[in-house]
């Protein structure tokens, strides 16, 4: 006899239709509209499964498994940002000089800065040019407060790649090539992290079907996986779009 399938939320047996999340938990379909889902891992928030959860003042829901690593402190955030920057340098993605102003912000502030375009962070860049040559630049990096560490790192890598583009005066790339490259940069950092959370972020990147971020990532991924990271970095400096 097969062991009965139990619902990870209510622990009762499942006989009819059910829903399975990325982590292998199965749930009765009827919970889906009633029980809040964690914005960061997709689990249903419950005492048993996620040790509960919390709602941020801007409405985001986060379970306690994700909240454990949440970045809510500016000093911790800046340290992680520097670590990501260092890893990018090792990949040949150099931003010099690197003196970012760094801020943790809520969703309404992010929306007022970035509109609906960026989901977890935003970068602002200003440069001083003399005869067309960049002499100096300043950068502000804004990341949503309270992201679990793996999401925070994803957002940092993405925004740092935008800054790399600006710092090289590469400002007229197609949104698909630019956003896809920024997502791919996050992938490069995540794939070395070897944690279940990092694997989940990679899964999200891979499964994203949106026309700019998702499709862009898939195209850049395909190029860099077959021809290498160096080829891709060279490509973005010599092309405006990706086919
Ligand atoms: Zn149930
Ligand atoms: Zn979660
Ligand atoms: Zn972006």
Q: Which ligand is nearest to the CA of 196?
A: 2
Taking the centre of ligand 1 as the mean of its atom positions, its distance from the CA of residue 152, in whole angstroms, is 31
User: Can you tell me whether residue 125 is helix, strand or coil?
Assistant: strand
Kindly give, in sequence order, each residue whose CB lies less than 8 Å from that of residue 147, ignoring residues fewer than 6 positions away.
Answer: 40, 70, 71, 120, 155
pLDDT tens digit sequence for 154-171: 999 999 999 999 989 899
- E-assigned strand segments in 83-120: 100-105
Q: Which two tokens stand for residue 135?
A: 């002499």
Taking the centre of ligand 2 as the mean of its atom positions, its distance from the CA of residue 135, in whole angstroms, is 44
pLDDT of the residue at 136: 78
pLDDT band at 131 (very low <50, low <70, confident <90, very high): confident
Q: pTM for this one?
A: 0.94
Average pLDDT, integer, range 134-156: 93
pLDDT band at 115 (very low <50, low <70, confident <90, very high): confident
* Residue 135 pLDDT greater than 80, yes or no: no
pLDDT band at 128 (very low <50, low <70, confident <90, very high): confident
pLDDT tens digit sequence for 59-92: 999 999 999 999 999 999 999 999 999 999 999 9
Distance CA 231, CA 218 (A): 16
Q: Which ligand is nearest to the CA of 164?
A: 3
Instruction: Please check whether residue 142 is in contact with residue 156, taking contact to mean a CB–CB distance below 8 angstroms.
Output: no
Task: Output the average pLDDT for the chain.
Answer: 94
Taking the centre of ligand 1 as the mean of its atom positions, its distance from the CA of residue 53, in whole angstroms, is 18
Environment of ion ligand 2 (residues, CB < 5 A)? 38, 40-41, 63, 66
Q: Which ligand is nearest to the CA of 28?
A: 1
Instruction: At 68, give phi and psi (nearest 5°).
Output: -50, -40
Average pLDDT, integer, range 114-142: 85
* Residue 111 pLDDT greater than 90, yes or no: yes
Taking the centre of ligand 1 as the mean of its atom positions, its distance from the CA of residue 7, in whole angstroms, is 5
Q: Burial of 225 by CB count in 10 Å (0-12 exposed, 13-18 middle, 19+ buried)?
A: exposed
pLDDT of the residue at 130: 82
Average pLDDT, integer, range 179-194: 97
Taking the centre of ligand 2 as the mean of its atom positions, its distance from the CA of residue 224, in whole angstroms, is 31
Domain boundaries, the chain: 18-67, 74-238
30 vs 7, 11, 14, 21, CA distance in Å?
11, 14, 11, 14
pLDDT tens digit sequence for 3-15: 889 999 999 999 9
Q: Which ligand is nearest to the CA of 29?
A: 1
pLDDT band at 31 (very low <50, low <70, confident <90, very high): very high
Taking the centre of ligand 3 as the mean of its atom positions, its distance from the CA of residue 162, in whole angstroms, is 7
Taking the centre of ligand 2 as the mean of its atom positions, its distance from the CA of residue 54, in whole angstroms, is 10
């Amino acid at each position: 006899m097969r062991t009965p399938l139990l619902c990870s939320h209510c622990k009762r047996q499942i006989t009819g239709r059910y829903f399975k999340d990325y982590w292998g938990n199965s749930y009765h379909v009827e919970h889906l509209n009633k029980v809040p889902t964690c914005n960061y891992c997709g689990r249903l928030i419950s005492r048993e499964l996620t040790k509960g959860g919390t709602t941020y003042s801007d409405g985001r829901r986060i379970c306690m498994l994700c909240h454990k690593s949440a970045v809510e402190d500016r000093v911790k955030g800046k340290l992680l940002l520097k670590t990501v920057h260092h890893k990018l340098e090792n990949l040949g993605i150099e931003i010099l000089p690197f003196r970012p102003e760094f801020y943790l912000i809520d969703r309404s502030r992010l929306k007022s800065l970035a509109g609906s375009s960026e989901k977890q962070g935003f970068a602002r860049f200003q440069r001083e040019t003399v005869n067309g040559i960049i002499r100096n630049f300043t950068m502000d990096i804004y990341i949503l407060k309270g992201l679990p560490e793996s999401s925070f790192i994803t957002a940092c890598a993405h925004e740092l790649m935008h800054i790399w583009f600006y710092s090289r005066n590469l400002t007229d790339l197609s949104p698909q090539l630019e956003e896809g490259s920024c997502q791919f940069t996050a992938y490069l950092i995540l794939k070395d992290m070897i944690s279940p959370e990092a694997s989940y972020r990679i899964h999200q990147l891979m499964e994203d079907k949106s026309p700019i971020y998702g499709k862009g990532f898939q195209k850049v991924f395909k190029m860099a996986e077959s021809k290498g990271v160096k080829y891709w970095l060279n490509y973005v400096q010599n092309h405006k779009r990706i086919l």
